[in-house]
Structure 1
Amino acid sequence: MTEYFGRADQQWMINFQVDDLAALIAQLEAAGITVETRAEWDSEVGKFACIHDPEGNPIELWQPNQ
């Protein structure tokens, strides 16, 4: 088991690649959607953020480094 998914029974996560994570985060927050970011999620492969669907399942957003 891993705590990466946020729940012990969670075994998968949807991940969407995006072109402009900062702009998407602004749009989501303007629509009232909570967006979680953490500096430790960002790495040599890109920047990451997480939102949750209505059932609490995580949806990861990823902007690859150019």
Structure 2
Amino acid sequence: MVPARLIAVLAVWRQKAGPTVFAMFESETDYFRSRVQRTMLNFRVRDLEAMLAQLRDKGADVAEETQDMEGVGRFGWVTDPAGNRVELWQPA
């Protein structure tokens, strides 16, 4: 029997079609913009510009730059209150 609290979680989490990626980076990477940060969360979003605007409006530390990767999509970043960089991805 599955506990009720687990069923509630399972009902909420539904991954859309597409890959789940665990990417390894060199230990000396500057991709995270911090030598202390070792991992990064990456969230899929429908509209990157709208999400970044919402985060800016709420006072979040949003990076000015975005990155376009042909055939992959667009990326943007926000830094959480603990100083960790979080990536947002709008698939192509």
Q: TM-score w.r.t. structure 2 length?
A: 0.63
Structure ID, larger Rg:
2
Confirm or deny that 1:21 pairs with 2:48: yes
Could you say what secondary structure the match of 1:42 adopts? strand
Q: Which residue of 1 aligns with 2:78?
A: 51
Between the aligned partners of 2:61 and 2:34, the Cα distance in structure 1 is 18
> Which runs of 5 or more residues in structure 2 are unaligned?
1-27
What's the Cα RMSD here?
1.3
CA distance in 2, matches of 1:56, 1:35: 12
The reply to whether residue 32 of structure 1 matches residue 59 of structure 2 is yes
Does the Cα contact within 8 Å between 2:61 and 2:80 map onto a contact in 1? no
Structure 1, unpaired ranges of 5+: none
Question: What letter is aligned with 2:46?
Answer: D
Give the aligned partner of residue 88 of structure 2: 61
CA contact (8 A) 1:37 1:48 kept: no
- Structure 1 stretches of at least 4 aligned residues deviating more than 3 Å after TM superposition: none
Number of aligned residues:
64
> For residue 42 of structure 1, what is the aligned residue in structure 2?
68
Larger RCO (CA within 8 A; separation ≥ 6): 1
Amino acid at match of 2:61: T
- Assess if the C-alpha contact under 8 Å between 2:80 and 2:86 holds in 1: yes
